[in-house]
Amino acid sequence: MGQKFKRTPFGEIPVDWETKNLKEMGPVTDGDWILTSDYSATGVRLLQIGDIGVGRFIGKSKRFISEERARELGCNLLNAGDILISRMPDPIGRACILPELDGPSITAVDVAIWRPDTTTTDRRFLTYCLNSSNWFALVGSYAAGSTRTRISRSLLEAIEIPLPPLREQRRITEILSAVDERIEKTHSVLEKLRDLKHGVLQRFFGAGKQVAKVPEGWQVLPLIKVSTLQRGVDLPMQSRRSGGVPVYGSSGILGHHDETEFKGPGVITGRSGTIGQVYFCEGPYWPLNTTLHVVDFHGNNPRFIALLLAFLRLEQFAASTGVPSLNRNFVHPVLVAVPPLKDQEHLVKIIEYSDRQILAEEAILISAKKLRDSLMQALLVGKVRTIK
């Protein structure tokens, strides 16, 4: 016979599992109400909701109050291992375990501090529960506020979550932690690959950054002599027909059409709205009038031109109006250093190889996250049992 389940607010769970609210497992307290006038250069670190990630401690804020002021206010000093829960978006209810920090710390009032009993609970298991879709749905149903959504500490501590036997909590944690470790390693690899790519581009284009002195064989030319830009052409939605030609707006591909006079390869960038993003299209394309696109590459490698325009940070040339706009007449006179075609092609090959590596790692990351999400959905409600 299959195992039996019972209904709970968190979802259906095995009949041999308990449910307990947060308060039953350990005290839940508010963070401290700290005013900007209380800030100091050093002392007790003040953690804020931005430091609370989904299952991870971000810890980017660098605000402090003096130890004397913390004593005057009776602040609740944090301990390593505390579970910090954000009572505000986004998402509301996300939680992380506080790691060991260099000095004393407190947290803002919109962060709840939970100290569950470790003799009956595994804090990592509880944190997984507090970062699941079931939990976010529950918290969201209790949240209130017309301008700034939040959940009160009293409502938060009353929410029930599943509590399997401690041994099973730990086994579930082991499985999910193994997947999380894989995700973190992939994140690390991706960060290194992106840094490497950025470093290559920085070194290459940095060599010609000072146009008064460039490497031998390079030329210094106005951009119009390197890649001539032209405004795109309007194509109303009602005029578009189903086809394989990508239609580009300032934020990228917005749809498709069945014909075009622009045969490609194409390099497109935003003229109005989103400024600075550069898109490369190998084949035919349609650039809308919110874009600028290259109509003459002047014998340069099109992919190299895409890299060059991205490196130029075209947004810096945008007119400062209500809606950002990029006038090609402001960009065309800009002097750029251009290497010989052979060097352009060499750079493109390096970047294409780097991009393939990045795409492969991104695919691994997506798969690992999907696996983690599906495992959480199954393990945290006992659909898949880890211990017989």
Residues in the chain where the model's pLDDT stays below 70: 1, 146, 207-212, 320-322
**How big is the chain, counted in residues?**
388
CATH number at residue 244: 3.90.220.20
Assess whether 17 and 151 both reside in one domain.
yes
Look-up: residue for tokens 């690959």? 193
> Do β-strands 44-47 and 105-107 pair in parallel, antiparallel, or remain unpaired?
parallel
What is residue 215's predicted lDDT score, i.e. its pLDDT?
84
What is residue 321's predicted lDDT score, i.e. its pLDDT?
61
Assess whether 137 and 250 both reside in one domain.
no
The CA-CA-CA angle for residues 359, 190, 171, to 5°, reads 105
Assess whether 138 and 243 both reside in one domain.
no
**Residue 328: inside a domain:** yes
Give the three-state DSSP class for 227.
coil
Distance (Å, whole) CA 101 – CA 245: 54
**Residue 291: inside a domain:** yes
Report which of 328, 381, 303 is spatially closest to residue 222, judged by C-alpha positions: 328
Distance (Å, whole) CA 62 – CA 39: 11
**Beta carbons within 8 Å of 95's beta carbon, 6+ residues apart:** 52, 55, 83, 84, 85, 86, 114, 127, 130, 131
What is residue 362's predicted lDDT score, i.e. its pLDDT?
97
What is residue 207's predicted lDDT score, i.e. its pLDDT?
59
Helix (H) or strand (E) holding 291: strand 291-296
Assess whether 157 and 229 both reside in one domain.
no
Distance (Å, whole) CA 14 – CA 344: 62
Contact predicate 173/97, CB 8 Å = no
pTM over cut 0.75: yes
Distance (Å, whole) CA 293 – CA 300: 15
Assess whether 123 and 250 both reside in one domain.
no
Give the three-state DSSP class for 97.
strand
Assess whether 119 and 261 both reside in one domain.
no
Contact predicate 126/86, CB 8 Å = no
Q: Tell me: the pLDDT tens digits for 242-299? A: 999 999 999 999 999 999 999 999 999 999 988 989 999 999 999 999 999 999 999 9
DSSP 31: -
Distance (Å, whole) CA 76 – CA 30: 9
Distance (Å, whole) CA 43 – CA 65: 6
Report the number of distinct structural domains present in the chain: 2
Q: Which domain holds residue 258?
A: 219-338
**Residue 347: inside a domain:** no
Q: Is the dihedral of CA 331, 336, 341, 347 positive or negative?
A: negative
Token code pair at residue 204: 């290459």
What is residue 273's predicted lDDT score, i.e. its pLDDT?
87
